[in-house]
Amino acid sequence: MEGRELQHIQDTLETAVTQRGENLAELSEATPVLLVFLRHAGCTFCRETLGDIARSRSAIEAAGARIVLVHMGDSEAVGKLLLKYGLRDIDRICDRDQKLYRALGLKRGTLWQMFGPKVVWRAVQACILSRHGIGKISADSFQMPGLFVLEQAKVVQSIRHRHAGERPDYAAVCVAARRARGEQRTW
């Protein structure tokens, strides 16, 4: 990354504030942050992500990471989902203007990334078979999700989804980030 791009990311991290008033740059100075970008509250994959994070929360936190969710929609609707998945106490940022999404390179998806055969099959699995359901669209339905591990206001691990239904292992990403840092920093 070029210096200007890195500076833009750091500036954006400083202005991105959780519901508790803490900015991402400061949080990542204190502890590694698993920054998870959601799509919208009605998205079955967003709901599946919350279920996955709830199941792997202890492993994520054991790897030393603090979970912060980023959404762009209705905070009340997201709050209800977090309550449903037992994640009401998780830090979150409402990024209605999608500045944080853009700064970290998360783009809007193509029709193939949203509705390709693989995505449709994953939607059936998440919505019906796993019972995550689906709700109304409450934000940019073409926004792609992703996740990043931040440390010292820098991205040390990232996954930018190739399609809307991609399902990463959140705990494994945190463990890999920790291992990649080796003995340089104890989390």
CB environment 150-184: b (16+ within 10 A), e (fewer): bbebebbbbbebebbbbeeebbebbbebbeebeee
| Residue 75 DSSP code | H
* 130's tokens: 């796993």
Q: Flag whether pLDDT at 13 surpasses 70.
A: yes
Closest CA to 98 of 49, 139, 134: 139
- Please give the model's pTM, rounded to 2 decimal places: 0.88
Beta bridge partners of 92: 69
* Residue-wise pLDDT tens digits, 45-83: 889 999 999 999 999 999 999 999 999 988 888 888 999
| Residue 126 DSSP code | I
Q: Flag whether pLDDT at 183 surpasses 70.
A: no
Domains defined along the chain, listed by start: 3-184 (3.40.30.10)
Q: How far apart are the first and last CA of the chain?
A: 25
Query: Which pLDDT score is estimated for 1?
Result: 55
Band the pLDDT of 184: cuts 50, 70, 90.
Answer: very low
* Residue-wise pLDDT tens digits, 135-178: 777 778 899 999 999 999 999 999 999 988 899 999 999 988 88
